[in-house]
Structure 1
Amino acid sequence: MKPISDTKKKAAILGVGLDAKDGHKRITQAEKFAVVGGSEETHDRMTETLVKTFEDLKRRGRELENAPSSEVAELIHKNTPR
């Protein structure tokens, strides 16, 4: 049995859109995030936000598992299309 300290941390982000009224089921999956539901516009905005957020983390040399939640929140806010 491995000691707990040797266990590698795992993290992912799940985006859930609740405004779909067209009957479509939208799912986008990537290595460390998934976006489900939402109208086409909402789903696309959430996906774009998370793609850009993970690109920024990579540029900073970080993985989601090791980034402080405040940094991830700041990047999500910065990358959300207005």
Structure 2
Amino acid sequence: MANKKRAHLIGLGLDSDGEKRITQAEKFSIVGGTEETHEKMTETVMKTFEDLKRKGRELEETSPKELGDLLYKNMPR
């Protein structure tokens, strides 16, 4: 029996305001950051997963380059 490929995206906010923030979903976790940073990272990842869903793709099927391109495209400016 072949092992099913699994993937999980982790976002780490390196700035801090003393609060502990964790946002978790089935395929991603966002840890740390100020309120603003944490919200931006969460928004970016959620939009990225929405794009993947529209394409009918899973994280496990996405190349690192494509994932990086999607994350960059979805970053709030």
**TM bin (shorter chain):** over 0.9
Determine whether 1:51 maps to 2:53. Answer: no
**Partner residue of 2:14?**
18
For 1:19, give the aligned amino acid: D
Instruction: Give the TM-score taking structure 1 as reference length.
Output: 0.91
Larger radius of gyration: 1
Distance in 2 (alpha carbons) for counterparts of 1:19 and 1:70: 26
Q: Using the TM superposition, give the Cα deviation of residue 69 of structure 1 relative to its aligned residue in structure 2, in angstroms.
A: 1.2
User: Which residues of 2 match residues 1-82 of structure 1 at below 5 A?
Assistant: 2=1, 6-20=2-16, 22-82=17-77
Which consecutive segments of 4 or more residues in structure 1 shift more than 4 A?
A: none
Give the aligned length. Answer: 77
Unpaired stretches in structure 1, ≥5 consecutive residues: none
SS in 1 for 2:19: coil
Q: Using the TM superposition, give the Cα deviation of residue 68 of structure 1 relative to its aligned residue in structure 2, in angstroms.
A: 1.2
Q: Deviations over 1:10-57 (max 9, x none)?
A: 00110000111x210000001100000000000000000000000000
Unpaired stretches in structure 2, ≥5 consecutive residues: none
Instruction: Give the TM-score taking structure 2 as reference length.
Output: 0.96
